[in-house]
Structure 1
Amino acid sequence: MVNGDNGTGGVPRVISVDDHVIEPAHLFDTWLPGKYRDKGPKPFTAGIGDLAYVGGKYRFTTDPAGQITDWWEYEGLLFPYKRIIAAVGFTRDEMTLDGITREEMRRGCWDPKARLADMDLNHVEASLCFPTFPRFCGQTFAEAQDKEVALACVRAYNDWMVEEWCGDSGGRLIPLCLIPLWDIDLAVAEIRRNAARGVRAVTFSEIPTHLGLPSIHSGYWDPFFAVCQETGTVVNMHIGSSSQMPAASPDAPPAVQASLSFNNAMASMMDFLFSGVLVKFPQLKLAYSEGQMGWIPYALERADDVWEEHRAWGGVKDLIPEPPSTYYYRQIFCCFFRDKHGIASLDVVGRDNATFETDYPHVDSTWPHTKSVAEDHVAGLPEEVAYKLLRGNAIRMLDLPFDRERAAGSRA
């Protein structure tokens, strides 16, 4: 149906702009060129030892006598899958840092047909999925020693994402690709390669300097931003894509990082608002993934106040010609899944700027209750506003082949 509710009534079917995929064990054996496979990532199953989350990062040991877990090995480094990243189907008390195998996961974590079935159960029409083993913006490959193999891995992942994960979904699984973060020219080429086959989303680091990469203020990334603008490729930045989460103390429990996770998105957005990037590239679109939105009204108020009162000594008098909020409303999308404060502040957050996510299959996921969560959040809002939040803004953002006419016409 035109309104996207497929006859179910109530809220329209959701387009989720932030979900996750657990990579199948065959990914690199299938998609990596043969000459690189000996040096590429290898899946294996083995016991896991102690696992902890300290200062925003995982620490673990292996143990042959430990719980059987599925792993990747790459350049001598080990990456275990943990239950909290494949949490759907478990109770809250079972969503732990324990290791997990694909057999123990819900099949929709790694099988595209099963994912579509789980989306049907969850009132979701389409889904954009971030990587797991490569990490949120491909840090695993950016940190590799052999960059020739790493580049091949980035391309193999993107080929798998486009052709296998999304290929038979009828557009319901939306491709999100990586770039080789360590080489700007290769990054530009990879954007062009994927845009030529219809990809309109790339994942990028919220704070590149945390990865040892140049800042967005340096001009280094301008060719990347330029090609994203040219091709209509949305730059998606997930919390944690700087390889660290905010932590008040190095020995704080994981609940502290979970509660502060939006801080990375807030810091990144301030960086962009005062960088001049959005002035220089006025059609570039940024998307903050899993950052929520209740913090945005004051962040914009403060940014505009600093611009008004402090721009001369603050170094932005000649760089930012209009109040920073101008560029937010024009070019930035936020997303949410549980954020009543953000809904209450929606007129400032921006009815055209907010999108919805389900975070499948992570511990925060609303699966299989997304419809009721969405209904609870948009209750009392005008039908057209609910449509924008749950569906229409995502269609505009990603240029999706769903009720485009209504989505385009609904913008205020």
Structure 2
Amino acid sequence: MDTHESTFPLIISVDDHTVEPATVWQDRLPEKYRGTGPRIVRAPVKEMTFLGGRFKPVMGAPGDDGPVGDWWVYEDLRRPLTRLDTAVGYDRDEIRLEVITYEQMRPGSYDVPARLADMDVNHVQSALCFPTFPRFCGQTFTEAKDHELGLLCVRAYNDWMVEEWCGPEAHGRLIPLTLIPLWDPELAAEEVRRNAARGVRAVAFSEIPPYLGLPSVHTDDWDPFLAACDETGTVVAMHIGSSSRMPSTSADAPPAVGSTITFANCCFSMVDWLMSGKFEQFPNLKVMYAEGQIGWIPYILERADVVWEENRGWGGVADKVHRPPSELFTEHVYGCFFDDAFGLRNLDAIGVGNVLYETDYPHSDSTWPKSREVGEAQMGHLEPEVVERIVRRNAIELLGLSDDGLWDGTR
């Protein structure tokens, strides 16, 4: 680990990312599905835009002019690897929306020993990683035509995540986050239990399922899945963009608009959960919002409490939400941040026990390799025991890690 003298605790990042190696699905799918399952093809880009929160790449044909990159091909989907998938190590002015190959990305994006080395440089001990090609909660497989193949793809990803990415080479420093078949809550519950049996304590989910054409959390549809999470102590992890719709204002709004308001879906989602009654129905259920930051939380809790109290006659939740939403938040919800000085100045209105730290490696927003320095600058006013909770202890308790911050599949 980094030997730089520092009293800042070794970081447990609850939101980093993995770029899946090209062989994840080809190595694990039955032979009959390898021609339609996810695979890498090198090809030029014909057109690529990212406006109004929508990413629209178009793959060119072999021999066409244009920059060449590695593309994931799956059924009719053509999705390129881009510089935004793995931007660490590049100057901010060099980070553009462009296609790349595996050789052009930082090896720590997909290689376990290289990832651990980059974590050492960044004062990070352990990290929970969200997917890239499946998207942040497995939407890629949910949107596919063949759900039999989709289920195999979900299970293959989870097997790779547990057995290889978080396998012996990781020495307990990589923490597994698995996917579910979102189209079937019963199958989702089975997958939660299958992975919980091998020590997994986090599952990815959509911040706003109706954006994916799925039921909302106000229905009973998700109850089998939520019951499995409640019973196994599996935290429901929701990353910004896990509804396949990044916040924006218009079809022509530049990416900077959406990047400024990325927290918005987390905000909407948290109100959904607080007003759903699910936290009282499933008392052990925990949810976390990756990359949502935390500065917005105090006002939303204040407003939710007022609405719950003052509008109980017509608000539609009096029969299922029997406690102030702010109390439910304290017991069930975690906000995650990597750069939020304002939120840290208002920590007393959020709760020391409800905040987790992250580095977002290898994305363009990542604080790598200065995550310790950023943390020191923003948490310098806090007592050491508070910093310890934010940077390590809360994650250890939430994710069932060992006391020294490592993942052990037997726990």
TM-score, length-scaled by structure 2: 0.95
Partner of 2:227: 226
**Partner deviation per Cα, 1:237-291 (whole Å, 9 max, x = no partner):** 0010000011111110000000111000000000000000011111101011100
| Distance apart, 1:377 and its partner CA | 1.3
Report the CA distance between 1:60 and its aligned residue.
2.0
2:369 maps to what in 1? 368
Q: 2:30 matched to which residue of 1?
A: 33
Cα displacement string for residues 103-133 of structure 1 (whole angstroms, at most 9, x for unaligned residues): 0100000101110110001000000000010
Q: What's 1:20 paired with? A: 17
Partner of 1:216: 217
Q: Distance in 1 between matches of 2:284 and 2:271?
A: 18
Deviation by residue 1:302-328 (Cα, 9 ceiling, x = unmatched): 000101111111011121111001110
Partner of 2:147: 147
Identical amino acids, percent of aligned pairs = 56
Counterpart Cα distance in 1 of 2:338 and 2:273: 24
TM superposition shift of 1:54: 1.6
Q: 1:390 deviation in Å?
A: 0.7
Q: CA deviation at 1:7?
A: 8.5
Give the alignment partner of residue 6 of structure 2, picking from 6, 9, 24: 9
Unaligned runs of 5+ in 1: 405-412
Is 1:43 matched with 2:40? yes
Q: Is the 8 A contact 2:127 2:173 kept in 1?
A: yes
AA partner of residue 57 (structure 1): R
| More divergent stretch after superposition (94-103 vs 30-39) | 30-39
**What runs of 5+ residues in structure 2 fail to find an aligned partner?**
406-411
- What is the deviation of 1:49? 2.5
Deviation of 1:46 after TM superposition, in Å, equals 1.1
- Whole-angstrom distance in 1 between the partners of 2:157 and 2:267: 29
Match of 2:409 in 1: none
- 1:167 and 1:8 map into 2 onto residues whose CA distance is 30
Report if the CA contact (8 A) 1:36-1:152 is conserved: no
SS in 2 for 1:50: strand
Q: Is 2:59–2:78's contact at 8 Å kept on the other side of the alignment?
A: no
Q: Superposition pairs for residues 166-245 of structure 1, below 5 Å?
A: 166-168=166-168, 169-245=170-246
State whether residues 22 and 133 of structure 1, in contact with CA within 8 Å, keep that contact through their aligned partners in structure 2. Answer: yes
SS of equivalent to 1:69: strand
Give how far 1:61 is off.
Answer: 2.1
How many Å apart are 1:177 and its aligned residue? 0.4
Once residues 290 and 352 of structure 1 are traced to their aligned partners in structure 2, the CA distance between those partners, rounded to angstroms, is: 17
Do the aligned partners of 1:5 and 1:13 also contact (CA within 8 Å) in 2? no
2:320 is paired with a residue whose SS is: coil
Match of 1:90 in 2: 90
What secondary structure does 2:136 align onto?
Answer: coil
Counterpart in 1 of 2:253?
Answer: 252
Q: Does the 8 Å contact 1:229/1:283 carry over to 2?
A: yes
**CA–CA separation in structure 2 for the residues paired with 1:243 and 1:102:** 24
AA in 2 matched with 1:393: N
Q: Give, in whole Å, the separation in 1 of the partners of 2:113 and 2:210.
A: 38
Instruction: Tell whether the 8 Å contact from 2:274 to 2:328 is kept in structure 1 after alignment.
Output: yes
Q: Over aligned residue pairs, what C-alpha RMSD do you find?
A: 1.3
8 Å Cα contact 1:6-1:13 kept in structure 2: no
1:287 touches 1:333 (CA, 8 Å); kept in 2?
Answer: yes
Between the aligned partners of 1:380 and 1:58, the Cα distance in structure 2 is 40
What is the CA–CA distance in structure 2 between the aligned matches of 1:309 and 1:7, rounded to whole Å?
53
* Aligned length, in residue pairs: 401
- Note if contact 2:357-2:391 (Cα within 8 Å) is conserved in structure 1: yes
Write the deviation string for residues 45-104 of structure 1: whole angstroms up to 9, x where unpaired: 111132111221111222332111111101121000110111011110111101111101
CA contact (8 A) 1:56 1:246 kept: yes
- Is 1:302 paired with 2:299? no
Equivalence map 1:153-164=2 (5 Å): 153-164=153-164
- Which amino acid is 1:378 matched to? M
Scaled by the length of structure 1, what TM-score is found? 0.95
Deviations 1:216-245 (A, max 9, x none): 111100111110010010100001000001
3-state SS of paired residue (1:333): strand
Distance 1:289 1:198 in 2: 21
- Is the CA contact (8 Å cut-off) linking 2:296 and 2:343 kept in structure 1? yes
- Tell me the distance in 1 between the aligned counterparts of 2:404 and 2:90: 35
What is the alpha-carbon distance in structure 2 between the residues aligned to residue 279 and residue 310 of structure 1?
20
Q: Which residue of 2 aligns with 1:400?
A: 401
- Aligned-residue offset at 1:35: 3.4
